[in-house]
Amino acid sequence: MNVHSSRYKCTACGKCFRSNEALTVHRRSHSGEKPFECSVCSKRFTQSTNLVVHSRIHSGEKPYKCHLCDKAFSESGSLTAHMRVHTGDKPYKCSLCDRSFSQSTNLLSHKRQAHSKRRTFECPYCGKRFKMNNKLNRHVRIHTGAKPYSCRHCSDSFAWHHQLKLHLLKSHNEGTWLTCHICEKKFSQSSNLKEHIRRHEGVKPYVCCECSKRFCTARALQCHLLKHSDIKHFCCCSCGKWFKFKGSVKVHFKRCLDNAAVELFPN
């Protein structure tokens, strides 16, 4: 330890710092002080740099751009995590099996789904239980038909924001269509246009780390990775059988309904 750094010592935990400014910031971890407030949403931060990064959520500024697929991010850490999609790097390893993941959140989800038997979130309509609250929230829409995104021009409402955006373009001429320069097909979202152009150009920046197969979109890669996984995300709400793919559970569910109808109304 540098002899000068001992001058800036935290009296609460004994940790030493190279400057008084660094010590001042550290002390806030003990006091809970957050002197930097967002002028838009009033969220508070311990450091001005954290406020600057947070402010980009409101301004839409995304200075960190991927040079492989043109995706942009408001934080450098988000870009670093995104680049693993292209490199196949998976630094987060499961301590219970041999699986590895590109992001810590994916590792956490894996442990909850693959290694935990607890399903603490219960559907109030049918009693089905889920390991994660966001899965329950999506499931509940099956029962409620909730459409939280409402059009300000008419009485239409939608389950997802992109559906509302498309409606505003088509029905109320609000917003700007994005046009493919190759075939002139129109899109409501820039991400969809970028994916579309990649298909024209044959660009496939997303690489499977298991078999090296390449894909145009991250969504296509994620779907493909299910082939290499034992995790089954989709459950038949009729019989409780689990499936890897949404298409498989849809076909199975229809068959379940047909079989139930035969049992109820035999020839």
Residue 37 belongs to domain with CATH number: 3.30.160.60
Full domain range(s) for residue 244:
232-267
Q: What is the pTM of this model?
A: 0.41
In a domain, 29, yes or no: yes
Alpha-carbon gap, residue 98 to 78, rounded angstroms: 25
In a domain? residue 164: no
Q: Which of 9, 40, 60 is the last residue of a domain?
A: 60
* Residue 18 maps to a domain: yes
Domain end (from 45, 60, 75): 60
Asked if the structure places residue 79 within a domain, the reply is no
State both tokens at 168: 């505003």
The chain-wide mean pLDDT, for the chain, equals: 83
Q: Which of 60, 87, 102 corresponds to the end of one domain?
A: 60
pLDDT tens, residue by residue, 139-164: 888 888 888 889 999 999 988 788 89
Q: Does 267 fall in a domain?
A: yes
Cα–Cα dist 197/77, whole Å: 27
DSSP 25-65: HHHHHHH----EE-TTT--EESSHHHHHHHHHHHH----EE
Is residue 8 in a domain?
yes
pLDDT band, very low/low/confident/very high, at 1 (cuts 50, 70, 90): very low
Residue 128 within a domain: no
Burial of 166 (0-12, 13-18, 19+ CB in 10 A): middle
Provide the domain count of the chain.
2
Kindly state whether residue 39 falls inside one of the protein's structural domains. yes
Q: Residue 149 — φ and ψ, nearest 5°?
A: -100, 110
Which tokens in the block code for residue 254? Answer: 């229809």
Pick from 226, 215, 228, 221: which is nearest to 248 by CA? 226
**Phi and psi at residue 217, in whole multiples of 5°?**
-130, 155
